[in-house]
Each structure stands twice: as structure tokens, then as C-alpha cells.
Amino acid sequence: MDRRTFVKSSAISTAGLAVGQSNLFKGFDPFLLNNPAPLQLNGNRFVTFCIMVRTTPWEVSRDVKLHPRDEAAWHTLEGVRWMREAFAKNNPDGRLTWGFTLNALEDKRKNYVEIRNYVAECQQKYGDEVSYFPGYFPAMYLPRERINREMTEAIQTITDFVGNGYRPQAIMGGFLSANNLQYLAEKEHIHTAHAVIWSQFNIDGGGADGSPSYPFYPSKEHFCKPAQGSKDFIDCVNLDGWTMDFICARRSGAIGQQLDGYNSRRGVGPLETYHGWGLDLGHREVMHTQSIHFDKGFELNGFGWVTNIWEAQLVYEFGKDFICSALEMWVTGTKKRWPDTHFVTFGEYGNIWRNQYKTNDKWNYRFEERGSGLGDSYNNLEIKWFMNKEFRLALLRDWHQNTPDMVIDFTRYDLTAKEPADPSPEHPDKNWSLINEINQKGLRPQDKPRLIKELDKTAKDLIAGYYPELMR
């Protein structure tokens, strides 16, 4: 067998966390929560969930705020408590990550002080993670050294208000450069970061398409590129923030939230689903997206992972009844359909993955989806993704018409990559994508879908080394 051929692991988790009831319920045992039995990656389903606390949208530093809207009054102790209770109602042993912007960490107004105190209590009672979240796009607007310096400042602030020497196990970065990830690993000894937003392109003024959608160790060349060996290896697991509907994600940007429009960010996110389509249709799309990973994906990969981020201000922007109902519906629906699902923090999940994989040599992700039939998740389309250390490959076909598989993405990671130079708030660089051979967005002439047999010999040989069945 070729050393790169995928072999699905059959290892099963030794034990899960058995708390029974959270502190919101009688019978809570904090010792069990703070000393959970170890989880293995294979044989388990995981959800990572973050609640983001900020003062304005897209604030990437104290003085760099990309949107003028003041959301301070929309952040209250009552609001974050409502969200935490909705999350826990039918998921009492679940843990989540709280992500604070620098302003939200330092704001001395009463509501932010109360929120920080409450979150510190949640860390102690439930095992939640408290982390730094420098907006979504720091790499687009700030020089690398400044991002590194401010991450250190934020981590120290978190340690100070949480107490007992607490440090987060992961940083919620949105987009972080390879340099930032190397700094986290080597200087801060933090080995997990949400540092990529998978497939994001022409959304919120920028993007960074090109990475694997599941965890990987990034290269020193580019944060979207898996390290190819020890010389370019960064020991900081790169995690996505939102799980996408793969069929929707192949589009560029978005045109409306209506059913006849399209949105490349459709998946588990609340704005694109529950708010965009309402509780009924939105929930159907969320559950469809999760099933890609928890049903067929679990079978193909030996484990499943879904990741999601909600902003705390949603409670006041769209109303408590709607947002808390949506949050409760999502979590409850997930636990009902896949009762073995573990809701863990980003840092926990990164450590679980690192315990399974020490390098990029052995992971080999595969996904298959037929569209949900909602919006632009067309039910006649079938997409298959293959992701490994050396490349990612996507095949698309019309299974109603039984058309052949067409290559819509072939991104090579064995080629040299380079990130943009340092940006500044005055001169941002919004294109951090890793695009080479064929890209799923289909924006260049060379991105025209083609049969595998129409690729050049180098590409076909590379694909055959991992997936010989595709070359028959």
C-alpha cells in the first residue's frame, strides 16, 4: 500500500465526559467537569462553539474599528447569560469558548466588567475557555509584529481577570498569518488557533480561500498551506471557525439572503441560516450541513467535527426570543440526532487533534455531500472533497443526470506559497487566498471544470498516489 493511501482508523474513544448535570441544574459535580476523562479523536463527534464579545463590528485593535456601529449597549450580563443558558439547557456538560476583542477585554464600563466576571465564573464552573478574538481580519489590517504584541497583552489581561494563573489553550484569530501562529507556538506556548475561515472569498471585503477545512499544522510560508516537513512546520493547529455547506461554499461572495439568491457562507452560521431563512428552514440547513460531517464524514474519516461562532450582540440585534430559541434549537437538535456529540472548547479540540496527529503526514480528509435542496444547495449536485498534506481536490457532478465527475478545485500544497507583506490600517491587504492550479470559485479561465483525465501528468500522478481509484 502506498504510504499516502488513506486508511480509516477504527480506534474508539476510551471514555467521554460524564457530568450529568451542569451548575444550572441540581446534582452538579464540579470535580468531574474540571477533571474530564480524556477523549480520543477517532470514534467521536465534536462541536466547537464560540460566543464573541466586542464593542463594534470588525474591531481588529483598540483604535482600528472597521465599522462605526457602537454595540456597547447590546452587550449585557443578562444577554450573555441568556445565551449560555440556551446552550446548556439540553447540553449540561457542554463547554464553549468565549472570545473577547481587545476593547471588550479592557472596557471599564459596568456591563463589560460584569460580563468578564460572569465568564470567569463560567470558566471555573463549567470548564469554558476564555480567549482573545482580535476581530475577524487582523492579518488584513495590522502588521505582524503588532498582532503578536497585542496577543501577548490580551493573554495577560485574561490571566489577570480569570485568576489562578489561567491561560487559554487557543486564540480566536479569524485570519492570522503564519508568523502569528509561529509566535503563538514558540513564544506563548499556545498550540491551537482559529486562524482561517474556510472558503471565505469576496465576503466582508476580503478572504482567504485555499486551505483544508479540517485541522492542519500550517507552513511557515502561508497560513492556508499545510506544512510539508520539519523545515516549514509550525506547531500550532489551524482551525476553521464555521462549518460550511460545501455546495454553497464553491460560490464567490453572496447575493442576498433570500431563497433565490446565493450565499457562499451558508452552513451552520446563524446569520446565513436562522436569520436568513427563519427557524424552520434555517434549522434544516444547519442539520444538513452537520450531517455531512457526522454521518458520511464520520464514516469516511473516523471522526466528525463541526465548528461555529455566534456574536453576543445577536440577542439584542434580533431579539432574545429568536436568537436564544435558535441557539437552543441547534444544540438540542444536534444532541438529539447525534447524542454522543461532545461540545468542547477550541483549545480542547486542538489538543485532542494534536494527540492523534504529530505531523501532517497521516491525516487524509474526505467528504461527500448531496445538496439539501434549499437555496443554492442544489439537490441535483453531488460534491466530493479530498484533502491531504500535498493537495486538496474537489469533484462535482449532477447525480440526477448521472454526469461525470468534474474537477472544480485542485489546490497544490507542494508548491511554494507566499503571504502578502505587512499591511496597515491605511493600506490593508484583503486578499490572503492560496490559489494555484484550479480554484472552486471559478473566477479565472483556468478554473473551468474539467475531467481528471484532462489534467496534466504531474497532477494525475499526484492524485493517483493518494486516490488510485479516481484514476480508473
Which pLDDT value is given to residue 35?
52
Domain shared by 401 and 329, yes or no? no
The answer to whether residue 4 is domain-embedded is no
The answer to whether residue 13 is domain-embedded is no
The phi and psi torsions of 120 (rounded to 5 degrees) equal -60, -40
H or E element, residue 154: helix 144-162
Per-residue model confidence as pLDDT tens digits over 6-56: 233 323 232 333 333 333 333 334 434 455 567 999 999 999 999 999 999
Per-residue model confidence as pLDDT tens digits over 241-255: 999 999 999 999 887
Per-residue model confidence as pLDDT tens digits over 293-320: 999 999 999 999 999 999 999 999 999 9
Could you tell me the pLDDT band of residue 58, with boundaries at 50, 70 and 90? confident
Per-residue model confidence as pLDDT tens digits over 150-187: 999 999 999 999 999 999 999 999 999 999 999 999 99
Could you tell me the pLDDT band of residue 3, with boundaries at 50, 70 and 90? very low
Q: For residues 420-432, give the mean pLDDT.
A: 95
Cα 164 to Cα 159: distance, rounded to the nearest angstrom: 8
Give residue 339's Cα distance to chain centre. 21
The answer to whether residue 8 is domain-embedded is no
* CATH code (residue 380): 3.30.1120.110
Which pLDDT value is given to residue 259?
58
What's the domain count of the chain? Answer: 2
Cα 242 to Cα 174: distance, rounded to the nearest angstrom: 10
Cα 216 to Cα 229: distance, rounded to the nearest angstrom: 12
Which of 301, 324, 356 lies at the terminal end of a domain, its last residue? 356
Helix residue ranges, H only, 345-397? 346-356
Which of 356, 385, 407 lies at the terminal end of a domain, its last residue? 356
Domain shared by 339 and 412, yes or no? no
Domain shared by 233 and 323, yes or no? yes
The answer to whether residue 325 is domain-embedded is yes
Domain shared by 335 and 377, yes or no? no
* CATH code (residue 293): 3.20.20.510
Cα 40 to Cα 363: distance, rounded to the nearest angstrom: 15
| Residue that has been written with the C-alpha cell 506559497 in this structure | 417
pLDDT cut 90: percent of the chain above it: 85
Task: Specify which residues 263 forms β-bridges with.
Answer: 254
Cell of 148: 503578536
The answer to whether residue 153 is domain-embedded is yes
Domain shared by 188 and 290, yes or no? yes
Domain shared by 278 and 369, yes or no? no
Domain shared by 431 and 305, yes or no? no
The answer to whether residue 6 is domain-embedded is no
Per-residue model confidence as pLDDT tens digits over 390-424: 999 999 999 999 999 999 999 999 999 999 999 99
Domain shared by 71 and 193, yes or no? yes
* Least confident segment among 1-5, 431-435, 457-461: 1-5
The answer to whether residue 235 is domain-embedded is yes
Domain shared by 250 and 389, yes or no? no
Domain shared by 384 and 326, yes or no? no
Which pLDDT value is given to residue 2?
34
pLDDT at 106 over 70: yes
The answer to whether residue 11 is domain-embedded is no
- Nearest Cα to 196, choosing from 219, 180, 179, 177? 177
Which of 321, 356, 391 lies at the terminal end of a domain, its last residue? 356
Residue 172's SS3 state is strand
Could you tell me the pLDDT band of residue 257, with boundaries at 50, 70 and 90? low
Buried b (16+ CB within 10 A) or exposed e, 186-197: eebebbbbbbbb
Domain shared by 209 and 337, yes or no? yes
Could you tell me the pLDDT band of residue 452, with boundaries at 50, 70 and 90? very high
Q: Mean pLDDT of all residues in the chain?
A: 91
Which pLDDT value is given to residue 12?
28
Q: Is 159 exposed, middle or buried (0-12, 13-18, 19+ CB in 10 A)?
A: middle
Cα 145 to Cα 161: distance, rounded to the nearest angstrom: 25
Which pLDDT value is given to residue 67?
78
Q: Residue 256 is part of which domain span?
A: 30-356
Domain shared by 403 and 293, yes or no? no
